[in-house]
Amino acid sequence: MLKPKRKITRREIKKDPLLETIDSIEAKFEKNKKTYGNVVILVFLVLIGGYVFSNKQKQNKIESNSALGVAMVAYSNMDYENAKFQFESIKSNFGNTSSANTSSYFLGKIAYENNDFINSSLHLNDFLKYSDDDILVCGAIKLLTEISLKNNNFEEALRNLDKAKNYKFSNSLMLDLELMKASTFLNMDDSKNGKAILEEIDNQKDLPSHIKQRLEELYGMI
């Protein structure tokens, strides 16, 4: 014989764990409704702020690239005073952009041409901190080395050339810098180290014509 189903009392319903959990959540929500609302508003403001910041960055990039184009035209036309002003304005108005970093290189180059080696070194070293443009980086290292050589600071020149180890240059660019290092050793009357570098380069196959020519010139100094 089937037993009659037991009736669930109101007290047992109240003690139902699921219902108690739901009641607890509702109570906490009501108690902290204002806090939750503030959190939602904060998240919304963060998302809006991120969107505005992203758009601002994009706009800065467009404007800085445009300004760099104007500066490069002046530089190409050898209007160096105007170019210098343009590059300085880019660094001032668009800091932390690739255009500002490129401007540091050309300001260093202009200063070098004007024999202002102190400011040239400052701009070029500033450029090297953030750049990954192989050709310009190689150019900056060469200019810094030239400045050191003009000051008869051979050890500093070698340290500048050693900065190439921090970059992944093409073989052609590395050969240029290695020849410069060999030349520095020869100017220091260190023919042993200079010759060792030249022989290492000479043993490579398919050397570019300008490398071969410079190699012969340096062999003539030994």
- 162-215 confidence digits (pLDDT tens): 999 888 899 999 999 999 999 999 999 999 999 999 999 999 988 999 999 999
Model confidence at 44: pLDDT above 50: no
Instruction: Confirm whether 75 is domain-assigned.
Output: yes
Provide mean pLDDT across the span 104-113.
97
- φ, ψ at 23 (rounded to 5°): -60, -40
The pLDDT of residue 47 is 47
Instruction: Confirm whether 10 is domain-assigned.
Output: no
Instruction: Confirm whether 183 is domain-assigned.
Output: yes
pLDDT tens digits for range 125-147: 999 998 878 999 999 999 999 99
> What's the CATH code of the domain at 144?
1.25.40.10
Instruction: Confirm whether 157 is domain-assigned.
Output: yes
Residue of higher predicted confidence among 59 and 67: 67
Instruction: Confirm whether 15 is domain-assigned.
Output: no
Identify the domain containing residue 80 by its residue range.
23-219
The pLDDT of residue 99 is 92
Sign of the Cα pseudo-torsion (22, 26, 29, 31, in order): negative
The pLDDT of residue 209 is 92
Q: Is 188 exposed, middle or buried (0-12, 13-18, 19+ CB in 10 A)?
A: middle
pLDDT tens digits for range 84-99: 999 999 999 997 899 9
The pLDDT of residue 51 is 40
Distances (CA, A) of 151 to 23, 90, 140: 82, 31, 17
Instruction: Confirm whether 108 is domain-assigned.
Output: yes
The pLDDT of residue 7 is 52
Question: Percentage of the chain with pLDDT > 70?
Answer: 74
The number of domains in the chain is 1
Q: What is the mean pLDDT of the chain?
A: 82
Q: Is 104 exposed, middle or buried (0-12, 13-18, 19+ CB in 10 A)?
A: buried
105 contacts 139 by C-beta, under 8 angstroms: yes
Instruction: Confirm whether 164 is domain-assigned.
Output: yes
Instruction: Confirm whether 118 is domain-assigned.
Output: yes
